[in-house]
Structure 1
Amino acid sequence: MDYSIFIQSGMTLVLGLIAVKVFSILVNTKLTEWAKQTESQWDDVVILIIQKRVIPFLYLFVVANSVIALPIPSYIPSAIHKLLIGIGGIIAALMSLDLIKAILEHKISGISEQGHKGIVTLVRVVIWALTSLFILDNLGFKVTSIIAGLGIGGVAVALASQTLLSDIFNYFAILFDQPFEVGDHVIVGDTSGTIESMGLKSTKIRSLVGEQIILSNTQLMNTKLHNFKRMDNRRVVFQLGVEYSTTHEQLQSIPTIISKIMTGIPDVKLDRCHFCEFAGSSLNFEIVYYVTGRDYQFHMDKQQQVFLAIFKEFELAKINFAFPTTTVHLAKS
């Protein structure tokens, strides 16, 4: 028996394993240290992918290549070749998923954790479907027939589930456009509440009363939506009326009093205060101010503080608030 083939195969195995080991040491030491010194995060991602995916496959490739060189039945090299193609396809799919996750984490900002999961799930389905077709094609299956069958079935399913597909597409539109996030207080049409969760088909809103309202994603995207969570300042407009018996000097002092009150309250900024109307039973002033903050409870606390301060200052200045009155003149016949 000629042992030279076994010796040659063994040497190929040993040299191949040594080469892969040296490459692995180089990646784990020199390249890793170099990547730590750079500002870019992409070299770290590439090195991590090489460590997790490429190096294990190289070890497997060296072993398989050494086995193929041995005098073995012809069907074994063919099986090993197909096995390598299958494993290579799986490794390529895993590398693609790692790269896409890195892109979502480092390149695309403003997407929530739930958004990341939704996008990764969609990409994972597409990549594994393509990988499966690639492996089946290399195993000898007629992939074109499978694709044609899926195409006909896909058209039928799409026609039967247009509403469902519309909701799914709008789900990803919400993820990318980010009109709201979980925890935001919104008003959609006549529905008001806090976003509780988002799904492929629908979004759940917890109303102020406490009930759970479920709206389809298509309905959300086609309806005017108010997001109060992203409101940096809350604008407040109100009117107050004083009696017609109020003197000219007292009327002139009202804007000054209002300005003094607003200046003394933190997180409140006066925009304007004007004498705006001669009403039926009152002289009306319109006041506009801003509250720094988006929380509704905080806004109501500040409004209460403003109103109480106005009441106190008007009492000190002997300015009377007006209320609807009717004067009746009786004439003797």
Structure 2
Amino acid sequence: MDWNVELLGNTIGDWLTALGLALTINVVVGLLKWAIIARLARVAKQTSIALDDAFIAVARRTRQWLIFGVTLFIGTRYLELPERVEAVLTGVATVAAFLQLGFWGMAGLEFWLERYRQRTLQTDAGAATSLAALSFIGRVLLWAIVLLLALDNLGVDVTALVAGLGVGGIAVALAVQNILGDLFASLSIVIDKPFVIGDFIIVDNYMGTVEHVGLKTTRIRSLGGEQIVFSNADLLKARVRNYKRMYERRVVFTFGVLYQTTPEQAEKIPRIVEEIVRAQPLARFDRAHFFKFGDSSLDYEVVYWMKDPEYAKYMDTQQAINLALMRALAKEGIGFAYPTRSLYVEAPVRVEVAPAPSAS
């Protein structure tokens, strides 16, 4: 075979040399990829550093056919090529390079999102699920940037394209503003975490346990058993009371005793209540006072703190306090008040009955 035969101004030998150089660089890149994945993976298993894991994830997304598009351009640099062929090779190399950068960027984004999802999976399943929205937005932004950069390097004027995308984006946003509002509200819930799966919340007059945080709606299971669905945007506008975030529960309760209670007995009652509350293992006493004269009772107000905010434990403690209070007051001869009304007559009323007329 005659290696001096020319093709597009270069001999066959020159073309084979250029192809061999391109393939050699491609093979070197492939070997480097294998070394990173195989060798570095062993080291990564023994460390807790995330950087080496991210590097491996990026290396796995290396596409040899895209690398070949770049190495072919490098291999033909010393050849004398027609302007049209040169432009084609430059375009192929540019597109391949930016596609590969896009794949690497996707690998980094997915690695970060997966790492974040694993960290939140145990405590916030809703956040892990809603990361799909963040992943979608990240993918769109990444590939939009890659596309614009590739077109700009190919000599395309992207100014008009960016302006058109901006106008189109505004039109789309206006058309689906409610959906986008719920979508961004979902992201706000994921990032800010006003509540998570399993929290007991009250929204306006509705209350229940959070079951699901989605891209558009949040669902809670009410105490009655039915599921209540809230729009994410409306939910963030409301005032949410999250009882799961309570570290302690403040408890205020009142009771009344009979007006027949003597001042000495009334004075003992706050001390009796204090002893009863302090005897409860989960309660921290705050105060107990005789605070007013009621319509039919002497009224006392008691305040204490529950060290464990769980509602069932609060009810158990309150029940124990009530029973102990009944026994203690009965022992002191003090009775609990109940609604009564007393009628006082100042003097007896004498009624005179006129004698009946006699029959004649």
TM over 0.5: yes
Whether the 8 Å CA contact 2:249–2:306 is kept in 1: the answer is yes
Query: Residue 176 of structure 1: CA displacement?
Result: 2.0
Is 2:31 the partner of 1:21? yes
Aligned partners of 2:330 and 2:99: how far apart in 1? 85
Give ranges in structure 1 of 5+ residues lacking alignment.
none
Aligned partners of 2:36 and 2:56 also within 8 Å: no
| Map of 1:81 onto structure 2 | 93
Deviation at 1:197, TM superposition (A): 1.8
| Whole-angstrom distance in 1 between the partners of 2:171 and 2:17 | 60
Contact 2:19 2:72 in 1 (8 A): no
Alpha-carbon distance in structure 2 between the residues aligned to 1:62 and 1:156: 39
2-side partners of 1:99 and 1:121: how far apart? 14
Q: Residue type of the partner of 1:279? A: G
Residue 311 of structure 2 is matched in structure 1 by 296
Distance 1:31 1:210 in 2: 49
Is the 8 Å Cα contact of residues 201 and 207 (structure 2) preserved in structure 1?
yes
Q: What per-residue deviation string (whole Å, max 9, x for no partner) do you get for residues 144-170 of structure 1?
A: 554333322222233333333333332
1:107-147 deviation digits (Å, cap 9, x = unpaired)? 99997323433322321222133334445566777655543
Question: Residue 220 of structure 1 corresponds to which residue in structure 2?
Answer: 235
Distance 2:281 2:36 in 1: 60
Higher mean C-alpha displacement, 61-70 vs 216-225: 61-70
Q: Does 1:43 align with 2:55?
A: no
Aligned length: 331
Q: CA deviation at 1:8?
A: 7.1
Q: SS at the partner of 2:61?
A: helix
Partners of 2:25 and 2:177 lie apart in 1 by 59
Give yes or no for contact 2:40–2:56 (8 Å, CA) kept in 1.
no
Give the whole-Å Cα distance in 2 for the aligned partners of 1:27 and 1:164: 41
Question: What is the DSSP-based 3-state SS (H/G/I as helix, E as strand, rest coil) of the residue aligned with 1:130?
Answer: helix
Contact 1:31 1:47 (8 Å CA) reproduced: no
What is the DSSP-based 3-state SS (H/G/I as helix, E as strand, rest coil) of the residue aligned with 1:197? strand
Mean alpha-carbon deviation: is it higher for 225-234 or for 213-222?
Answer: 213-222
1:101 paired to 2:113: yes
> What residue is the counterpart of 1:242 in the other structure?
257
Q: CA deviation at 1:322?
A: 0.9
> Which residue number corresponds to residue 142 of structure 2?
127
Judge conservation of contact 1:203–1:217 (CA < 8 Å) in 2.
Answer: yes
Question: Which SS does the other structure have where 2:326 is aligned?
Answer: helix
User: Could you list the runs of 5+ residues in structure 2 that have no partner in the other structure?
Assistant: 4-11, 350-360
**Relative to structure 1, is the Cα distance of residues 294 and 128 closer, same or farther in structure 2, using a 3 angstrom cutoff?**
farther
Task: Name the Cα RMSD after superposition.
Answer: 3.8
Q: 2:284 aligns with which of 256, 269, 275?
A: 269
- Describe how 1:3-18 pairs up with structure 2 within 5 A: 5=14, 6=16, 9-10=19-20, 13-14=23-24, 17-18=27-28
> How far 1:212 moved relative to its partner?
2.4
What is the TM-score of this pair, normalised by structure 1? 0.80
Per-residue deviation, 1:243: 1.1
TM-score by length of 2: 0.75
Partner amino acid for 1:313? A
Moved more, 67-76 or 82-91: 67-76
Matching residue within 202, 218, 225 for 2:217? 202
**What is aligned with 1:53?**
61
Shift of 1:273: 0.9
Q: Which residue of 1 aligns with 2:266?
A: 251
Which of 348, 354, 358 does residue 332 from structure 1 map onto?
Answer: 348
Spell out, residue by residue over 1:23-59, the C-alpha distance to the aligned partner (whole angstroms, 9 max, x if none).
854785479649956x7x2432443245423596897
1:281 aligns with 2:291: no
Distance 2:70 2:182 in 1: 49
How far apart, in 2, do the equivalents of 1:95 and 1:126 lie? 14
- 1:223 to partner: Cα distance: 1.6
Distance change (3 Å), C-alpha of 1:296 and 1:163: same
For residues 256 and 188 of structure 2, the distance between their equivalents in structure 1, rounded to whole angstroms, comes to 49
The amino acid that maps onto 1:184 is D
Q: Distance in 1 between matches of 2:72 and 2:259?
A: 101
**TM superposition shift of 1:4:** 5.2
The letter of the residue matching 1:85 is A
State the shift of 1:320 in Å.
0.6
State, as a whole percentage, how many aligned pairs show the same letter.
32
Is the partner of 1:195 in helix, strand or coil?
Answer: strand
Residue type of the partner of 2:224?
V
Q: Tell me which residue corresponds to 1:191.
A: 206
Q: Compared with structure 1, are the counterparts of its residues 218 and 92 closer, same or farther at alpha carbon in structure 2 (3 Å cutoff)? A: same
Q: Mean alpha-carbon deviation: is it higher for 14-23 or for 197-206?
A: 14-23
CA distance in structure 1 between the aligned counterparts of 2:18 and 2:39, rounded to whole angstroms = 31
Question: 2:166 maps to which residue?
Answer: 151
